[in-house]
Amino acid sequence: MVCLVESVIQPKFKSLHYTHNSSLIKFKSKEYNATIEFYWSPLLVESNSDDPLMHRLPDRIVRIQEIEKHARYWTDADIIVFNTYLWWKRTYMTMIWGSFEDAEHGIYKEVPMLRSYEMALKTWSDWVEIHVNHTKTKMFFIGMSPTHQTADEWGKRREENCYSETWPIMKQDYWGRGSNKNMMGIVGDALAKLRDRGVDVKLINITQLSEYRKEAHPSIYRKQWDALTEEQLRNPSSYSDCNHWCLPGVPDVWNELLYAHIFGYS
């Protein structure tokens, strides 16, 4: 979103603020007295993977009932755009009741992912209802961003992925395994319950339009954090990124839809 708006603003009228280990990045447009903030909390609720630098933990643990640590940064915005999906993609989630500081005395449970996703969205909904002034603040939830990890979905070998793809999927009404419709249903239900309580959070349903775009991921053309091994170099699909998206690209379309909703063209 910042890419879309910042190019038309002269350098002296804009600024970017962040510290190397902060979850919050702020973009400011001085002339318009407007701020666009990005706050990174991949599971919305609190977890042991929240650190913006040190978050690649195999043993992910969520504090399913706690969100305030992150959410206190969101309360006063005029427009809030939420989203959480990819980080939930595993069969079970470990939850802790108790604190990470005193992890030894915590109570731990393994919970099936769908149930834990539902619980997290309940925590989030309760927070939204109580802490956000929904007369003043417009709220949106962006749907799942699909992945293209297994090429048999579009008629190639299962071991292949988005690597070397140059053309969208041209099937009618296409859905691949990169979207979890059960999770989509849980988001839909959470938003419907909020609506019943008088709180309007609009879903920007970008999933299927993105499903077609197997060619729009960075694949091998991204920054690599570690040097590639001989074996990886021989097999480029093994290090292809089929989760994130190229820019300019599909996320610009998501932003255009958001724009249409904010200004009421929908």
Ligand X SMILES: *[C@@H]1O[C@H](CO)[C@@H](O)[C@H](O)[C@H]1NC(C)=O
* Binding interface with ligand X (CB under 6 A): 21, 33, 133, 135-136, 184, 187-188, 203, 205, 207-208
Closer residue to ligand X (CB): 10 or 33: 33
Q: Which is nearer to ligand X, 93 or 144 (CB)?
A: 144
Smallest Cα–Cα separation from 138: which of 227, 34, 233, 261? 261
Compute the least distance from the CB of residue 243 to ligand X, in Å: 20
Our CA dihedral for 163, 3, 8, 10, rounded to 10 degrees, sits at -120
Minimum distance between the CB of residue 143 and ligand X, rounded to whole angstroms?
6
Instruction: Rank residues 7 and 19 by Cβ distance to ligand X and give the closer one.
Output: 19
CA distance 103 to 62: 12
> In the complex, which residue's CB is closest to ligand X?
188
Q: For the chain, give the number of residues.
A: 266
* Smallest distance, ligand X to C-beta of residue 181, A: 8
Measure the CA–CA gap between 145 and 162, rounded to whole angstroms: 15
Q: Which is nearer to ligand X, 7 or 133 (CB)?
A: 133
In whole angstroms, the minimum distance from the beta carbon of 20 to ligand X comes to 7
| 213-to-78, 174, 189 alpha-carbon distances in Å | 32, 11, 27
